[in-house]
Amino acid sequence: MSTFADLGLSPDILDAVHDLGYESPSPIQEEAIPPLLDGADVIGQAQTGSGKTAAFGLPMIEYVDPDEHEVQALVLTPTRELCIQVTQALRAYGKRKGIDVVAVFGGAPIRSQQAQLRAGGHIVVGTVGRVKDLISRHSLMLHACRFVVLDEADEMLDLGFLEDVERILALTPSSRQTALFSATMPREIRELADQYLYDPVTVRVKAATLTVDTVEQFALEVSAREKTDRLIEVLQSERPEQAIVFVRTKIRCEQLFRTLRDRGVNVKALHGDMSQGARDGVMISFKTGRLPLLVATDVASRGLDISGVSHVINFDVPTSPDVYVHRIGRTGRVGRSGRAITFVEARQRRDIEAIERHAGVKLAPWVKDAHVAATPVQPRPRRHSKPHLSRSSDASPRKLIVAGGRATGLEPSDVVHAITAATGLDGEAVRNVRVLERFTLVEVPEDQAERIVELVSGASLNGQMLRLEPARA
């Protein structure tokens, strides 16, 4: 195994790496850093937790000149949570060199972000919608941007951001260096890479690092009434270093958080109804290890990349096998072991069987001090059309019309977040969002369509009331 010094990094960057306690490069860092330092475009196939932020971040810091007061690098992310996470990492990497990193994302005042950009900003990390907005207001200029990264490109595709990504790329210099990172490589992402990357070096980490291969997985049969008591029992027995308890809805998240807090547990909640400042505070507390227990919804937890999570507890059974794999991927990070415990009500046996078939595992019954061999979990290759929404699926898609479009400032991510926050539905189930001038089209599972219309209609978004209705056949 090589060291960071072997990869060609300068002394300043090596000092920053040492300050952060990094000992040796992960496979994606070992393979991606040298070609990026050589100026090549790179396609990296890697999941969150593989170390990809340092893989593109360290070469980026090498390139940026702190004496040049223009935006020299841009990182596009699909979610606010990932934007914040990447920003924190880049600030740590560039601290010794004096690099200014500005985060721009929706849900925070745009004026303060404009002020930060006016004051400087060598590197901008941003969500697609907010970057596009700042460009349209002439607050973000990309004429000097020499380095562009598309992080988690497949998730940008799933959220309907790809056209906006192309518009942003078209505004950057043709001589830029571009890196694209994605857990999967659907056709649309390959076509994007073919069009916007020049003779790229493709880097794929070995299969072992693309799987959750150090997680002991259990199921615990419970009744609905006793779930909270059994959760307390599990926490007392397992004594996790850090744990995430996943629930389906924001209401359940808040209720469980309050119940645990009232029983003396040191816990915080993370869900879509919280202000961005509150969410940031919770994430920082959890990331730094000050907070041992987090109750979270799936949507709010996206972008959580925390190596110290020893346990994931599925208080509510995931909405799909893909979501199960995503959840338990929060533990058993590279080089560490983890434990995943799923609470199962009698009526949910079929859901668990579907998860076991999809993930290729058998969940062992949980009892105190139980241990099983850590089981590899590798999700089936994902296409843009998710397994539970494909034509062969029981839940075919249903098209809804949302009143409001470009004229009212609506973004695809706004629609996705509004639906998932109100219903607890996983973001992956909301597809093909098309924002037109005065209305927006979106596809949802047919068996959920009426519920979504009922729960989301009347909700407030960007100061306007949402109205949804099914599209005519």
Q: What is the pTM of this model?
A: 0.53
Q: Which residue has the tokens 């307390």?
A: 232
Helix (H) or strand (E) holding 51: none
- Please give the class, per CATH, of domain 211-365: alpha beta
Where do you find CATH 3.30.70.330 in the chain? 393-470
Give residue 391's pLDDT. 29
129-143 average pLDDT score: 93
| DSSP bridge partners of 44 | 181, 203
Q: Strand pairing of 468-470 and 397-403?
A: antiparallel
- The SS3 of residue 390 is coil
Q: Which of the four pLDDT bands, split at 50, 70 and 90, describes residue 301?
A: low
Average pLDDT, integer, range 111-129: 93
Return d(Cα 197, Cα 39) in angstroms, integer: 12
Q: Mean pLDDT, to the nearest integer, of 221-237?
A: 92
Note the pLDDT of residue 379: 43
- Check residue 208 and give its pLDDT: 39
C-alpha to C-alpha distance for 308 and 141, rounded to whole angstroms: 38
Please tell me the class of the 393-470 domain: alpha beta
User: Which CATH code is given to the segment(s) 4-208?
Assistant: 3.40.50.300
Where does the chain hold its CATH 3.40.50.300 domain(s)?
Answer: 4-208, 211-365
Q: Detail the DSSP E strand segments found in 237-359.
A: 243-247, 267-270, 293-297, 311-314, 338-344
Q: What percent of the chain has pLDDT over 90?
A: 40
Query: Residue 58 is inside which H or E element, if any?
Result: helix 52-63
User: Which has the closest alpha carbon to 87: 328, 305, 285?
Assistant: 305
Contact between 244 and 313 (Cβ < 8 Å):
yes
Dist CA 107 CA 104 (whole Å): 10
> Tens of pLDDT along 159-200?
788 999 999 999 999 999 999 998 878 889 999 999 999 999
* Crossing angle between the packed helical segments 110-119 and 128-136, to the nearest 10 degrees: 70
Residue 472 has what pLDDT? 67
